[in-house]
Structure 1
């Protein structure tokens, strides 16, 4: 049995944050705190994004409210299968207790990919270049193809072509526009285009992958561990963007990636430092050091010290300590 506590939070964005499909005014989620009979504590976070197939904040809150203060998780976890974010949060907190709050150590700094929501936001690009980011991610599909290609040219000119670029369409492009992007970025420092076509158009994306040299990455198409397993079994030729906090089960995701995670890019679900530390800690255990981590999101928010201030590299000791997480819990 574990003592189960939860708190809701709401964070404001520093400005308008939107992709081609939706805009976000606030970020709502739940922090959870578990304590075992020996007084050991673990934290988890419920950070839902409904458009990625997760439960809603309201439904997660309702289930958390129904669990009671003393919970037998060996019985409860299977019942949370329809609540992927809540299950991930509980398994993460249990895992933190088992590890006694100790994170895996990095062998060397791990690059962080900084998110700039708008390709035309050159001020943010200049800021991140001044901080020595080696990888930047942009949302595309928000304006016309011609406008965004011109903006991409300006970014590459500003960075002198020395920074890896990720382009995320959130599944909103049509085939003609996707081809236009792939024709233009061939030979440019574009690491990959993320989910160019909607969920359900994976066969068409596989054809695009065969016709053009730039890698494609599935994101919305691999919301769950079952989705990831299916596309890995079918030998998808590109990459997978994994948002651990949305995956549904730390244990199941760890088992799926136990043979290697070289084809995965680990990414934020816009969590606080609780969810970020759990997700990045998981990534370290699975891959040690891979492609740049997609967690450069903290400048999107108006508050400070709620998320991890990672900068362009995750450094040794860069994840939140148990004391840090307890302090955040007490302040919420």
Structure 2
């Protein structure tokens, strides 16, 4: 296994519930033939890009990867133990596990001559994956005029699903912004609103009542991540505003979210869940519970972002996903094999992640 560190700046700082993000730092993970007991004849490539708050720290990620196999930044390539993947705890070091599990899956799929999406779909017994994945455009916090301008631009570019960041302003201001966007783009464009856990229960209850007339696809993370009872109570009000949870999955886990009946939709981040395989399995558990899975990224580099496209493609009838995030980076590791066009991204059809698109990276 070989590790190659990288550091990528963002085009502009990204504000999140856990503070601003201005860089993404991680590791490319390369594995060679015969790794992890797999009979593979081609190398595989993965990405481990931790994001504290959702995953372990960068130092913990590196330590975990080096512990399961001798890996050097100088390009040394040594076999890792057969049980390497099982020794990476997805609860403790999900980014590290993502990097290795993706590399192994890429190698296995490439060796079989199929795409990563086909390989993952077979594991879960899903039908053939989709050739394209619908994606949403994300509209950041801004005044109503700027928000409408961004929404109209996205709609003109072919996006039929918009995710609007809210919660940084007063509820009155955010309701005004969302109403303005709905008037501007019409009823044919789906709107999602993401509060990033900004509200208390009283504000969230008022928000649900006031937003009911806007036909939202869902309201994402209206309450702090740990408040599953509060999210469940919002759903029990039976007001036509579906509730989606994101940060709650990192804080409490998917099983706790499903057991609490706290969500109509869950936002699945492969890097935070510990790998493409675990993400697809999570989507299957969510669907079995009547909860819609939406795949997104933690603002990853192109390797992990491409893998997330494969994951989304393998989920039957997946709704628009948060995969149009490459533009958030100031630069990337390689050209994007999944460019956004008319509100969707193509799924690479070559073997593994994207045929030979990333051959020069490790």
User: What's the TM-score once normalised by structure 1's chain length?
Assistant: 0.87
Partner of 1:321 in structure 2?
354
Partner of 2:124 in structure 1?
none
Matches of 1:59 and 1:316, distance apart in 2: 32
Matches of 1:20 and 1:240, distance apart in 2: 17
Q: Residue 12 of structure 1: CA displacement?
A: 1.7
The equivalent position to 1:99 in structure 2, one of 82, 97, 109, is 109
| Structure 2 stretches lacking a partner, 5+ long | 35-39, 72-77, 119-127
Matches of 2:202 and 2:225, distance apart in 1: 17
Describe the superposition over 1:186-214 as per-residue Cα deviations: whole angstroms up to 9, x where unpaired: 03131111111112211111111111220
Matches of 2:303 and 2:165, distance apart in 1: 25
Higher strand share: 1
Q: For residues 267 and 253 of structure 1, do their structure 2 counterparts lie closer, same or farther at Cα, with a shift above 3 Å needed? A: closer
Name which of structure 1's ranges 82-91 and 180-189 shifts more when overlaid on structure 2.
180-189
The equivalent position to 1:265 in structure 2, one of 291, 294, 299, is 294
Secondary structure of residue in 2 paired with 1:187: helix
> Are 2:14 and 1:17 aligned?
yes
Give the CA RMSD over aligned residues: 2.5
Secondary structure of residue in 1 paired with 2:13: strand
Matches of 1:198 and 1:60, distance apart in 2: 26
Matches of 1:140 and 1:260, distance apart in 2: 26
Q: For residues 185 and 88 of structure 1, do their structure 2 counterparts lie closer, same or farther at Cα, with a shift above 3 Å needed? A: same
Partner of 1:176 in structure 2?
202
Alignment of 1:43-62 (within 5 A): 43-52=45-54, 54-62=55-63
Matches of 2:18 and 2:93, distance apart in 1: 23
Matches of 1:237 and 1:55, distance apart in 2: 25
The 8 Å contact of residues 133 and 313 in structure 2, kept in 1 or not, is answered as no
Describe the superposition over 1:83-106 as per-residue Cα deviations: whole angstroms up to 9, x where unpaired: 111112111111111111624365
Partner of 1:76 in structure 2?
84
Describe the superposition over 1:162-184 as per-residue Cα deviations: whole angstroms up to 9, x where unpaired: 31111112222111221232122
Q: Residue 55 of structure 1: CA displacement?
A: 0.4
| Structure 1 stretches lacking a partner, 5+ long | none
Matches of 1:217 and 1:126, distance apart in 2: 24
Matches of 2:186 and 2:247, distance apart in 1: 31
The 8 Å contact of residues 21 and 170 in structure 1, kept in 2 or not, is answered as no
The equivalent position to 2:135 in structure 1, one of 102, 108, 112, is 112
Q: Residue 302 of structure 1: CA displacement?
A: 2.0
The 8 Å contact of residues 84 and 246 in structure 1, kept in 2 or not, is answered as yes
Q: Residue 58 of structure 1: CA displacement?
A: 2.2
Matches of 1:173 and 1:234, distance apart in 2: 19
Matches of 1:248 and 1:174, distance apart in 2: 30
The 8 Å contact of residues 19 and 142 in structure 1, kept in 2 or not, is answered as no
Name which of structure 1's ranges 254-263 and 144-153 shifts more when overlaid on structure 2.
254-263
Name which of structure 1's ranges 190-199 and 138-147 shifts more when overlaid on structure 2.
138-147
Describe the superposition over 1:91-145 as per-residue Cα deviations: whole angstroms up to 9, x where unpaired: 1111111111624365454311111222534343232122110111122111222
The 8 Å contact of residues 19 and 117 in structure 1, kept in 2 or not, is answered as no
The equivalent position to 1:216 in structure 2, one of 243, 259, 264, is 243
User: What's the TM-score once normalised by structure 2's chain length?
Assistant: 0.80
Secondary structure of residue in 2 paired with 1:9: strand
Matches of 1:155 and 1:303, distance apart in 2: 30
Q: For residues 119 and 216 of structure 1, do their structure 2 counterparts lie closer, same or farther at Cα, with a shift above 3 Å needed? A: farther
